[in-house]
Structure 1
């Protein structure tokens, strides 16, 4: 029988070691009621867990001796998963919304765009302001810079500029974040 030259390593187990996976001679035991039983041999700790109908779970593997607790491992995993999903729910992701303008933007169009930007900042999102130059507008880059400065001034109290206006090819971009 030929062996594969690069056999996959055995899968690593996630989480704490449980029951017979704990391979140390002595452990510091905490019983099902949460009371410290002191340092005991691993065999007597496993017996105590079996009598209680629960699992022996290593809660502090770095300690000397390792700290083990008698608890229901399935319940522990469930609570851990629940805690992770709660943390994920509370986490707010910050999106980058884009507002596109032109160097010779009309007053009403500008007001519509700034209203949308106000809404984005209230939601806690960053805003990327993109100013696109077409054709001969490249000759009037100062107009584009005037529009960018106007946006900066209008939102000075609501947002801060993360990336100053920068010209790349035919468009000028600036990124603003809520204060």
Structure 2
């Protein structure tokens, strides 16, 4: 995890800064010595929060607490991220009924566990003449999983393959 590096206290190099106090009130443009004195007077750090502005903006705050809060916020954001994997199921246009049922059972299992499914129907040789047979098999798969899945990518042909993407509802 990468946190933004700020210049603090004696590491601030400019001669004058626009100072914001610990309560968020704008003090104005002051010399760096006076700003450091103000920060040390209340027992906090002087942190350069906008180094690109002229003059740079510095704020009086507890730097270690700010870093801790930033790490905590990043950690919470990471926890709330939803991650899922893409599972692939490969079919042929002449798949038998029992084999189809097995692939369907796997697809339903993947969907109930929250995974995305990419279904690939590959045509070889003379199978390319009757691509509608394979397309009907994909439509059957869509009908059989419509209670737990929705189509993310409709059946799409690329070369000698059809692709279909399903995601759990």
Same fold (TM over 0.5): yes
Instruction: Work out the number of aligned pairs and report it.
Output: 165
Q: Is 1:84 equivalent to 2:74 in the alignment?
A: yes
With normalisation by structure 1, the TM-score equals 0.70
Query: Which is worse superposed, 97-106 or 115-124?
Result: 115-124
Query: Which is worse superposed, 64-73 or 136-145?
Result: 64-73
Distance 1:127 1:35, change over 3 A: closer
- In structure 2, stretches of 5+ residues that fail to align are none
- In structure 1, stretches of 5+ residues that fail to align are 1-13
CA distance in 2, matches of 1:75, 1:136: 69
Q: Is 1:41 equivalent to 2:42 in the alignment?
A: no
RMSD: 3.2
Q: Give how far 1:56 is off.
A: 0.7
With normalisation by structure 2, the TM-score equals 0.74
CA distance in 2, matches of 1:159, 1:24: 62
Question: 1:27 — aligned with what?
Answer: 18
Q: Give how far 1:16 is off.
A: 3.7
Q: Give how far 1:22 is off.
A: 6.4
Question: 2:100 — aligned with what?
Answer: 110
Question: 2:139 — aligned with what?
Answer: 149
Question: 2:90 — aligned with what?
Answer: 100
Question: 2:150 — aligned with what?
Answer: 160
